[in-house]
């Protein structure tokens, strides 16, 4: 059934064309010029948006109301000779795009654009390799646990923390030649202030200190 037979006020651009509906799709389609309604209810015809019948879906004539909002927009664009809208360019995952360089000159609105400075970084604090003439074996740095009622912020730069800690061993409990000692070190990941201690009974004795090059309270 054509659009004129369905709706008296049909738009001129699809007047006289066969209107069909594809199974499983809510939009109506406009059949290509010259297509007539066949005898069988389900058929494949050339559509304005899909002129190749081998690629087109199975359709049936539509005998309901026809409005522009109900018709496939691709069919309407093809019928009117309009270009397809440009599809957005997809960027593959994991591929970084180069951002535009901020202008060094003031923009017409009177504001200046400038790149944000990179945060200041400091060389990683080195753990002492030995103590009392014997080598120390250190573990990797790990995030220090947060203890209740203990401020984890850095006492030098004021970074909120928590910082990192590492454990060290010297000798072996069963060794008779190398004294067995245990060590622990704490450092601030922001300014690299670091202190290493030896466990002596229930106390900690400082064996090394790496002074930060950061300004006092710079991260408060």
End-to-end, the C-alpha distance of the chain in Å comes to 77
User: Residue 30's pLDDT is what?
Assistant: 84
Q: Which conformational region is residue 136 in: left (phi greater than 0), alpha (psi within -120 to 50 degrees), or beta? A: beta
CA distance 91 to 16: 44
Residue the block writes with tokens 């067995």: 180
What SS3 string covers 170-189?
Answer: ECCCCCCCCCCEEEEEEECC
User: Residue 2's pLDDT is what?
Assistant: 46
Q: With 0.85 as the threshold, say if the pTM is over it.
A: no
Q: What is the pLDDT along the chain (220 residues), one digit of tens a residue?
A: 444 344 444 456 777 788 888 877 778 888 888 788 777 777 778 888 888 777 777 888 888 888 888 888 888 888 888 887 777 777 676 666 667 666 666 555 655 566 666 677 888 888 999 999 999 999 999 999 988 888 899 999 999 989 999 999 998 888 888 889 999 999 999 999 999 999 999 899 999 999 999 999 988 8
- Degrees (nearest 5) of the Cα angle 219, 117, 99? 135
CA distance 154 to 171: 32
User: Residue 188's pLDDT is what?
Assistant: 94
User: Residue 103's pLDDT is what?
Assistant: 60
């Amino acid at each position: 059934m054509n659009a004129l037979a369905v709706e008296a006020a049909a738009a001129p651009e699809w007047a006289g064309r066969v209107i069909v509906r594809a199974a499983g799709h809510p939009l109506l389609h406009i059949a290509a010029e010259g297509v007539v309604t066949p005898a069988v209810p389900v058929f494949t015809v050339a559509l304005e948006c899909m002129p190749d019948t081998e690629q087109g879906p199975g359709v049936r004539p539509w005998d309901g109301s026809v409005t522009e909002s109900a018709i496939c927009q691709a069919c309407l664009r093809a019928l009117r000779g309009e270009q397809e809208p440009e599809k957005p360019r997809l960027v593959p995952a994991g591929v970084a795009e180069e951002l535009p360089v901020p202008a060094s000159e003031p923009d017409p609105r009177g504001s200046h654009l400038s790149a944000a400075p990179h945060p200041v970084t400091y060389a990683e604090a080195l753990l002492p390799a030995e103590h009392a003439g014997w080598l120390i074996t250190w573990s990797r740095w790990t995030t220090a646990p947060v203890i209740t009622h203990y401020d984890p912020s850095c006492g030098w730069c004021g970074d909120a923390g928590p910082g990192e800690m590492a454990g060290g061993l010297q000798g072996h409990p069963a060794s008779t030649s190398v004294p067995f000692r245990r060590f622990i070190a704490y450092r601030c990941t922001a300014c690299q202030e670091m202190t290493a201690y030896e466990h002596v009974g229930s106390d900690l004795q400082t064996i090394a200190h790496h002074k930060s090059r950061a300004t006092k309270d710079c991260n408060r």
